[in-house]
Amino acid sequence: MSLGEEQAKKNAELAKGTSDRVQGTCMGVDFGTGLVTVNVRGGTVQMPMVGVAPFVGDPVWVAYVGQMPLCVGSVPKSTTGTVMPTTAPTGFRYVTTDDGVLRLLVYNGAAPATGARVTIDWAANGVIQSGALSADPPGVDPAVVVVPPDEGGGGGTGGQATFQPVWSGTYYIPGGNWASTEPWVSPNQIGAFGYEGVGDTIPDGATIVERRVYVAEYSSPYPTSTTLGTHALPSRAGTPTISNGIAMANGGGWHEISAAAADALKTGAAFGLAATGGGFRKWRSAGVENSGALYLRWV
């Protein structure tokens, strides 16, 4: 068999699995290996990715090449939107993109004005480009924008967001002090993440229908029961008290939080998540390997 014939045979074998595609949800990106973790068809799978890396929580397309999964990119997001009046953390603005999703984004140059029509560079990790649009491009209809009520008042406008923690740490109960920037969980320690902007992003009248947090767990020598709930500390100071707790499974990855915990974060009654018990579990610090990422979807 010639080399050409051999290659043709291999191509025909590989083609047997190429006609399938499905949507999934991005759960994490590893730039070191070039792999993305996707929740697809009810399971979590690591696979190679092509093009621009998706964001955690993004819907993505998964193609099967030779029956092997390949993430070919995010389901397209609108590149134009309207700046919202909702108060945002320093260096950010809330934008409702023309696909009806409220997003917290950074910007180039001066802060865009409320009501401005702006463009978003998703290839640059979702940056609002400097300067307002002179007019909407052909085919763009800003009338489809779903404008949320200012400061969370009124009924719920659907949306989703992934909140990265702004701090993390371990509170050592016997010593009454914060002992590490990594969240460590044991009967004597409370591991915690702190967030900003959750209450400003989600309307008070919204119903949160998906709620989970990602923990990058790198050690768990004595796994036992863990309680995961909320705390009311705005910074790594003071004594955390866990409320709205539920049992948390062993291992890293995505974990559900309680409906009461999500509501407390939404209303501003809580500023973060905390866990205790668990034998002895060690998690990466805020933002390291996506640790502490909080994904919420509401209607």
Between residues 149 and 272, which one has the greater pLDDT?
A: 272
Per the CB < 8 A criterion, the answer to whether 147 and 96 are in contact is yes
Token duo for residue 283:
């998690």
pLDDT at residue 19 above 70? Answer: no
pLDDT of residue 17: 52
Topology of the domain covering 80-147: OB fold (Dihydrolipoamide Acetyltransferase, E2P) (2.40.50)
Token duo for residue 140:
């763009």
Distance CA 143, CA 100 (A): 10
Per the CB < 8 A criterion, the answer to whether 95 and 116 are in contact is no
pLDDT of residue 139: 66
Mean pLDDT of 154-176: 80
3-74 and 80-147: identical CATH topology: yes
Listed in sequence order, the residues at least 6 apart from 37 whose beta carbon sits closer than 8 Å to its beta carbon are: 26, 27, 28, 29, 30, 44, 45, 46
The residues spanned by each domain of the chain are 3-74, 80-147, 161-298
Q: pTM of the entire structure?
A: 0.52
DSSP string, 15-26: HTT-S-EEEEEE
Size (the chain), residues: 299
Mean pLDDT of 3-26: 69
Task: Please tell me the CATH code under which domain 3-74 is placed.
Answer: 2.40.50.230
Residue 150 burial class via C-beta count within 10 angstroms: exposed 0-12, middle 13-18, buried 19 and up: middle
Share of the chain above pLDDT 70, in %: 87
Per the CB < 8 A criterion, the answer to whether 190 and 276 are in contact is yes
DSSP string, 251-297: SSEEEE--HHHHHHHHHTS--EEEEEESSSEEEPPTTGGGTT-EEEE
